[in-house]
Structure 1
Amino acid sequence: MGLFTSTPLPEPVGDSAPPVDEHPSRIATVLSHLRRSADTRITHPRRFRRQQLKALEKMLEEHLEDFVQALAEDLGKSATEAKFSEIDVVRAEIDFAQRHLVEWMDSTSVKVPLALQPAMAKVEPRPLGVMLIIGAWNYPVQLVLAPLVAAIAAGNAAVIKPSELAPATSGALAKFLPVYLDERVYAVVEGGVDTSTELLAARWDHIFYTGGERVAKIVAAAAAKHLTPTTLELGGKSPAVVENDSLASAKRLAYAKFMNAGQTCVAPDYVLSVGDSSELIRRLGQAITSFYGKEPLTHPDFGRIVSRKHFERLLSMFEQGEVVFGGEYDEDTLRIAPSIMRNVDLEGSLMTEEIFGPILPVIEVETFEEALEFIARRPSPLAAYLMSESPRLQSIFSDRVRAGSIVHNAPLAQMIVPTLPFGGVGPSGMGAYHGKHGFDRLSQMRSELNKTTVVDTLSAIYPPYSWAKRKIIDRLL
């Protein structure tokens, strides 16, 4: 379908009519087109939603190699990592939505107070309208398409803005999505800061942003001008408290930290080692070597830093403590080896900003209680991890730590559980998605009440209020 083939709707009239723009921008034109199409409710039927989800799945299947190549160009991701951490995650979301869409869309009957009987009441999920999805560069396929799955399942139209820092992936999305999805209600807009600024100036029914806290404040401020609801998926410094320093724990921590060269929003950002950390550091180094060999800078399964700006930012962090493993880097390929640091400056950027790279600070604390206090003094993270087999410590950790998610012994594993909500709390974000949580987040839970007029049972509460009526009202309410 062409971009402008939908039947035009009547122009708004009266006070609701917008001012005429004789030279609308491309973004304004696209948004106007999508809103007119969405107003016809073509996205509402279950059949349409299923068709679009299947089309999205077909795109990922038929152009798998194109997306794998794009991810390699943007982030140096291996084909295997690109497939399971990006494509397969989205396909799992699509499959889960397809299997549960009928039950998600069903209305839920609720009880009606005795005073209103006879009557029926229900809660029904309804599409919000037209939403804006702004993706992030670290997982440039997953973090655009997983929210889009939720948007499609919930019956919304959407404009997708991929990250300009992943240009090859952005180009692939712009090339293939319009071929498979209905262009009347879905569009891709590429561009940098100016494009994002213009997009945020428009009125949306929901804005879904994935990225950092600084830009999230800009998004929230822009949304507030139109009272637009937002979902903000941010990050923060996710801690890992280690009470069990076994090799299995070290391998799971190293895997979660150094996948995608550490550029993962829920990667362990620092480790709090309860007691001496020497054995943990040794085993972390052993795990890293088993994953990426003795020369990780040239290993095909280890990626690169997204840009020179981020590369130089990360190199400056090496000056804020003692590098006890790794520390090598290649300026030409923008690769930094998986590195472990200790005796770090707690006031430097290494420990006050999200690292978002392959550097793991290890901090010794004397007791488990000290670790909890350390976390509590800092902003609430997107995730918090505990490596311990003790049910007592797990219970205390879950009770005391405020984070978007709590995970015991399996960092990052929460990301592939479709029944778990994914989202932050406080500075690490607001709102959650994945599975039904995404469907609910991008739907209006509309209330509906139906009461017959055949028998007017409300006459007892109409004025004037006699003594008898007041007694009846007191008993009913």
Structure 2
Amino acid sequence: MATQQEEETVVRVPQIVQELNQTMRSGITRTKEWRMQQLRAVLKLLEDNEERITTALAKDLGKSAHEGYLTEIVQATSSCKLAMKELNKWMAPQKVPTTLITFPGKAAIIAEPLGLALIIAPWNFPFSLVIDPLIGAISAGCAVVIKPSEITPTVSSLIADLIQKYLDKKAIHVVEGGVPVATALLEQKWDKIFYTGNPKVGRIVMAAAAKHLTPVTLELGGKCPVYIDDSVDLKVSAQRICHGKWGFNCGQTCIAPDYLLVQESIVPKLVETMKDTIVQFFGEDPSKSGDLSRIVNENHFQRLSKLLDDPRTSEKIVHGGQHVKELLFIAPTIILDIPLDTPVMSDEIFGPILPIIIIKGVDEAMDVILSFPKPLAFYVFSTKKEVQERLVIGISAGGMGVNETMMHFTIPRLPFGGVGESGMGAYHGKDSFDAFSHKKAILYKGMRGDIPARFPPYTSEKKSLVRRVAAGDVIGVLLVMLGLKK
């Protein structure tokens, strides 16, 4: 049920959209000067407000100041600096070769803003996953409406305050609220929708966009698998896997390892090494660790607790499993030899629970992975080149890490996006600019140079010439035009 504030916001949505469309039509956002001015303002916003941002993240998600800085501020700052550095190059017309049939002429591709964009952000990285796509939208010259997640209300309120203070209010607007507000926004006509969240809501977004034929970028999720064989250094592998699973937002991350596929011979040693690593990272009592985030709210705590309390899962727990409702705390948990038909394997876990599936080799691992929808990320731990190549080629995923987890996300020149049910479209760096741009094809010609064979009546000579032009036979065209060949 909508609150009074949400009802008021819902009423205002059409007016907000109308005002931003007027700004878009004015052409101000298309100028390089406006784009650079807004990017500089974003960078200043990030530099001026580190403490406010990390404090809000701590209140909503239990993130430490260091984790908040590292995962939310650094990522956005890096994206902004790259956009400022590369904007001239991104905006420049791209010249392309022409053909004989268009001679003499010049052709180019010009990137123009799609128009008014809607950015719907998630709760797990509620700050950076607003700012990162916003940087792309600004770089492309779009006007923007931002819908932060209502599940992280402190961060949402902070974003609304900071955007209003630092950025152009006539072109960039924040709309806060829950489902009623999101529904009202999706009823409007947009030129681009950028949604980060889960596949269920992604389908709703895509259905709404289809009514207006609006292009979408969907950053969704899925069960991100990890393959591990006996060729790796188990200590290094355990540290990287544990860091990817529990070091960022307590596993509430769309590219966190969701389950492990481990070669049978190394399972006992890997489990013990991971247990040691968890203690090394978070101490004997992780509930007292300042480096382990909490579950975002009671609903998600109950969802994860239900998975742990399922009899077929609870009997397989070999580490962790403790959960305290009052603290919204769930310990880093390892589940060994879990059947594929248990609830914990049916959907993306999105929490600190890590199942281990025992396999004999690559073939069995591929069978398991291919039984699920295409993941947003896939991680391969093997030093065998033939294994790496087979899995890189044989498994479709949004992105991959070989002997690493999560870190591909931090490289701004690598596109980040899903495939199949894990999403569509990509962003980061130039891909963020492209996500909010239309590549307009242009042919420039003067008033001279038309080949007579282009126009009827089509004599045999003209037909011959057209065929040679179509075939790219430059010499033959010249000979025909000189009357030396038919």
- Mark yes or no: TM-score above 0.5: yes
Q: State the alpha-carbon separation in 2 of the partners of residues 43 and 99 from structure 1.
A: 18
| 1:449 partnered with 2:439 | no
Residue aligning to 1:251 = 239
**1:309 aligned to 2:299?**
yes
Paired residues of 1:116 and 1:458 also in contact (CA < 8 A) = no
Q: Deviations 1:282-340 (Å, cap 9, x if unpaired)? A: 11111111110011112111111111111111111122421100111111011101000
Once the 2 structures are TM-superposed, how far is the Cα of residue 377 of structure 1 from its aligned partner?
Answer: 1.7
Match of 2:444, SS? strand
Which of 444, 461, 464 is the equivalent residue of 1:468? 461
1:125-155 alpha-carbon deviations (Å, 9 max, x no partner): 1111110000000000011110001001111
Matches within 5 A, 1:13-162: 25-162=11-148
8 Å CA contact retained: 2:10, 2:181:
no
In 1, the alpha carbon distance for the partners of 2:199 and 2:10 equals 31
Map 1:327-476; keep pairs closer than 5 Å: 327-455=321-449, 457-476=450-469
Counterpart Cα distance in 2 of 1:338 and 1:392: 33
**Deviation readout 1:3-48 (Å, 9 max, x if unpaired):** xxxxxxxxxxxxxxxxxxxx99211111111110111111111121
Alpha-carbon distance between aligned partners in 2 of 1:279 and 1:107, rounded to the nearest angstrom: 56
Distance 1:414 1:127 in 2: 28
Query: One-letter code of the match for 1:450?
Result: Y
Match of 1:261, as an amino acid? C
Candidates 266, 278, 286, aligned match of 1:288? 278
Aligned to 2:199: 213
Query: Which residue type is aligned with residue 455 of structure 2?
Result: Y
User: More helix per residue: 1 or 2?
Assistant: 2
Counterpart of 1:261 (choices 239, 250, 253) is 250
1:332 partner SS: helix
Cα gap change, 1:24 to 1:69, in 2 (>3 Å): closer
Deviation, 1:459, is 2.4
* SS in structure 2 of the partner of residue 235 of structure 1: coil
**Secondary structure of the structure 1 residue equivalent to 2:366:** helix
- Counterpart check, 1:201 vs 2:194: no
**Residues of 2 paired with 1:189 and 1:269: CA distance?**
32
2:327 aligned counterpart, secondary structure: coil
Report the equivalent of 2:5: none
Give, as a single letter, the amino acid of the residue that structure 2 aligns with 1:146: D
Cα offset for 1:436?
A: 0.4
Q: Percent identity?
A: 41
* Residue equivalent to 2:479: none
Q: Which amino acid aligns with 2:206?
A: A
Indicate the larger mover: 338-347 or 382-391. 338-347
Structure-2 residue corresponding to 1:14? none
Between the aligned partners of 1:126 and 1:362, the Cα distance in structure 2 is 48
Superposed CA RMSD in Å reads: 1.2
SS in 2 for 1:471: helix
* TM-superposition CA deviations, 1:318-367 (whole Å, max 9, x none): 22421100111111011101000013231132111000000000010011
Could you report, residue by residue, the CA deviation over 1:425-476 in whole angstroms, capped at 9, with x for unpaired residues?
Answer: 0000000000001111211010010111133x24212111111111111111
Partner Cα separation in structure 2 for residue 226 and residue 352 of structure 1:
34
Alignment length, in residue pairs?
A: 454
Q: Distance in 1 between matches of 2:272 and 2:352?
A: 17
TM-score under structure 1 length normalisation: 0.94
| Distance (whole Å) between structure 2 residues aligned to residue 417 and residue 36 of structure 1 | 36
Contact 1:245 1:280 in 2 (8 A): no
Q: Is the partner of 2:106 in helix, strand or coil?
A: strand
Counterpart-to-counterpart distance in 2, 1:460 and 1:146: 53
Misfit runs of 4+, over 2 Å: none
Amino acid paired to 2:38: Q
- Give the secondary structure class of the aligned counterpart of 2:79: helix
2:30 counterpart SS class: coil
Sort the Cα spacing of 1:260 and 1:297 in 2 relative to 1 into closer, same or farther, 3 A. Answer: same
> In 2, distance between residues paired with 1:69 and 1:406?
32
| SS state at 1:43 partner | helix
Q: Please give the alpha-carbon distance, in whole angstroms, between the structure 2 residues aligned to 1:453 and 1:282.
A: 78
- Contact 1:341/1:359 (CA < 8 Å) preserved in 2? yes
Which sections of structure 2, spanning at least 5 residues, go unmatched?
1-8, 471-486
Instruction: Give unpaired runs (5+ residues) of structure 1.
Output: 1-22
